[in-house]
Structure 1
Amino acid sequence: MARPREFNRDEALQKAMAVFWAKGFAATSTDDLLEAMKIGRQSLYNAFGDKRQLYIEALTTYQRNVTAAHLKRLNDTPSPLQGIENLLTGLVAEDERVRNLGCMGIGSVGEFGVMDEELVALRSRVSQAIGKRVTERIIEGQALGEISRRLDPNESSAFVQVTMSGLQLAARGGGGLDDLRSTARFATERLRAT
């Protein structure tokens, strides 16, 4: 008869995600995970599989949570231009410790690039979901006269997404709150109708 699980799986996953987010995949040892999750080695394997499977699940959970937050900021205002600014400025955490973590997804890009097909597919799904909605908001903004009609909506959406990546990478590199938020506002102004 199998022993019942003696820990909360969701809590353990959140703790593992925090370790991977801070250290990345390669620099995180199984012992780091066991210590953070407060579980034994066999419990980790039984509940999550190996380190890679745990990383994929943690990254998937992280991406789902941040994508929902991104879309909420983008959609929470009738003004498409303000929604884009909210999306960008909202990436920059006020808490310096959190801000310096950057983005776990961007961290995975830096660590794996395009060498891991499963991670590329995960990032692609997230990028497409955000990109589609940013494009729609740009088209809305053009119809309202907020965003320049001279801009291609798809190219502008790509610009916004590259700006998102840049802000998150700069945050990981120690960028300050005011500078990063100023950059987010500057990028948004490039879209404004004149």
Structure 2
Amino acid sequence: MARPREFDRDTALDKALRVFWAKGFAATSTDDLREAMGIGRQSLYGAFGDKRTLYLEALDTYQQRTNRGHITRLSRPSSPLQGIEDLLTGLVSDDDAERALGCMGVGSVGEFGVTDPDLNARRSAASAALVRRIAERVLEGQRSGELAPHLDPDESAAFIQMTMTGLQVAARGGAKAADLRAMARFATERLRS
């Protein structure tokens, strides 16, 4: 008879996510994960499979959470321009340690590039809804006269997504919160009519 699980799987996954987010995949050892999660080797393998499977689940969880927040900040204000600014400035944590982590998704790009088909597919799926929603907000802003009419909505969405990436890399590199927010506002103003 199998022993009952003696830990909360979701809590353990959150702890693993934090380790992968801070250290990346390659620099994280199984012992790092076990220690952070507070579980034994057999429990880790039994509940999560191998390190790669755990990493993919942690990354999926991270991307689902962050994308929900991104879309909420983007969609909440009636002003599309304000929604875009909220999306960008919302990336910036006031907590220095949290901000220095950057973005786990951007970190996976830095670590793996485009060499891993599973990660490529996950990144594409994770960003598709956000990019689509950004383009919709650009169109809304153009219709209301708030955003420049000559902007291509898809190119604008790509620009905003690249700005998000740049902000996260700069955060990981130690940029101050005030500087990151200033750059977010600067990028947003480039869209104004």
**Which residue in the other structure is 1:171 paired with?**
171
**Which residue in the other structure is 2:104 paired with?**
104
Deviation for aligned residue 1:127: 1.6
**Which residue in the other structure is 2:59 paired with?**
59
Structure 1: 5+ residue stretches without partners = none
Q: Which runs of 4+ in 1 moved over 2 A?
A: none
**Which residue in the other structure is 2:68 paired with?**
68
Post-superposition CA distance 1:29-68 (Å, at most 9, x none): 0000000000000000000000000000000000000000
User: Take 2:52 and 2:69, find their aligned partners in 1: how far apart are those partners?
Assistant: 26
Q: Is 1:184 paired with 2:158? A: no
Alignment of 1:16-95 (within 5 A): 16-95=16-95
Q: Is 1:124 paired with 2:131? A: no
Which letter maps to 1:44?
L
User: Take 1:55 and 1:126, find their aligned partners in 2: how far apart are those partners?
Assistant: 15
What is the aligned-residue identity percentage? 66
Deviation for aligned residue 1:129: 1.1
Which letter maps to 1:165?
T
User: Take 1:163 and 1:127, find their aligned partners in 2: how far apart are those partners?
Assistant: 14
TM-score, L = length of structure 1: 0.99
User: Take 1:157 and 1:12, find their aligned partners in 2: how far apart are those partners?
Assistant: 35
Deviation for aligned residue 1:128: 1.2
User: Take 1:171 and 1:188, find their aligned partners in 2: how far apart are those partners?
Assistant: 18
Which letter maps to 1:164?
M
Deviation for aligned residue 1:126: 1.5
**Which residue in the other structure is 1:14 paired with?**
14
Which letter maps to 1:166?
G
3-state SS of 1:77 partner: coil
- Between Structure 1 and Structure 2, how many residues are aligned? 193
User: Take 1:158 and 1:33, find their aligned partners in 2: how far apart are those partners?
Assistant: 35
